[in-house]
Amino acid sequence: MFPLFRIFDPRMCGAITQSLGLNTKVFSDNILAAVQGDTDSHNNLGALQANNPKVFIQGQPAIAAIKDTASPDVIGMIVHQTGLPIPAKGSQKVFIGNGGSGGGALGLGMLSGNMQVGELLQVGQQIIGQVSSIANLGGGGGSMQMNNMQGQPPQVGQTAVGQNTGATFTFTGYIDSRQLYPPTANAFAYPAASSVTTAILTDDGDYIVTDSFYEYPSQNLTASLVTT
């Protein structure tokens, strides 16, 4: 699962997300959920793009931080190309997306070689995950989205090597959708569904369709679990 992305939540380039007024009713911790199309503070660009969305808010795809993407934006004269304005951090209480596909992660760092989508990443002898998107930012910099994460998250300064191409990515920043759970377990995983005390699920345990809450003036999700 991935954090539900909201207005004011950050993009990986440092921009802050802003509302176009498409969602007026669904909140998490009193903050409006962001939806597809919402832009950011870097010149009102960086429209959010959902990836195979299954959770909708007022008819618009909800955004999963770390997993979903965004259009380029511009700060001053500097273009932040696709891969940089990615939704980076969201709600710590409301999660959406499929837990079965493995954790996701975002990395910023130094890229060397022609890293390919789909290849496995190794740090030392350990496979840590798989490349789901890669962007060359110029000047040796890169940003990467990963999925199917396993084991301990890489540390800043560590280098991941692509198994197919031998391309390398040295992390200068890293965000993981997994949490240390339970806190004493020293294992990175998703919070167990049984630990969520105020879950909103469909009858078949599948996913929430927030359109069904249209009759309420608003929904303020403070401890909810939304799965696809």
Name the residues that contact Zn ion, by CB under 5 A: 13, 15, 42, 73, 80, 85
Nearest-approach distance from CB 27 to Zn ion, in angstroms:
25
User: Cβ 80 to Zn ion, closest distance in Å?
Assistant: 4
Nearest approach in angstroms of CB 152 to Zn ion is 30
Residue nearest Zn ion by beta-carbon distance: 13
Phi, psi of 36 (to 5 degrees): -55, 135
Q: How far is the CB of 40 from Zn ion (least distance, A)?
A: 6
Residue whose CB is less far from Zn ion, 8 or 216: 8
Round to whole Å and give the CA distance between 50 and 150.
Answer: 24
CB nearer to Zn ion: pick between 40 and 176: 40
Nearest-angstrom CA–CA distance, 74 and 39: 12
- Taking the least distance from each CB to Zn ion, the nearer of 13 and 63 is 13
Closest alpha carbon to 95 in 187, 195, 219, 5 = 5
Q: Which is nearer to Zn ion, 10 or 129 (CB)?
A: 10
CB nearer to Zn ion: pick between 15 and 64: 15
Structure tokens at 22: 């498409």
CA gap 216, 56 in Å, rounded: 16
Q: Which is nearer to Zn ion, 15 or 208 (CB)?
A: 15
* 219-221 β-sheet, strand order: 31-32, 26-28, 219-221
Q: Please, what is the minimum distance in Å from the beta carbon of residue 135 to Zn ion?
A: 13
- Nearest in space to 117 (alpha carbons), one of 142, 93, 141: 142
The whole-angstrom separation of Cα 19 and Cα 9 is: 11
* 1 vs 134: CA distance, rounded Å: 21
CB 35, min distance to Zn ion, A: 19
Strands 56-57 and 31-32: unpaired
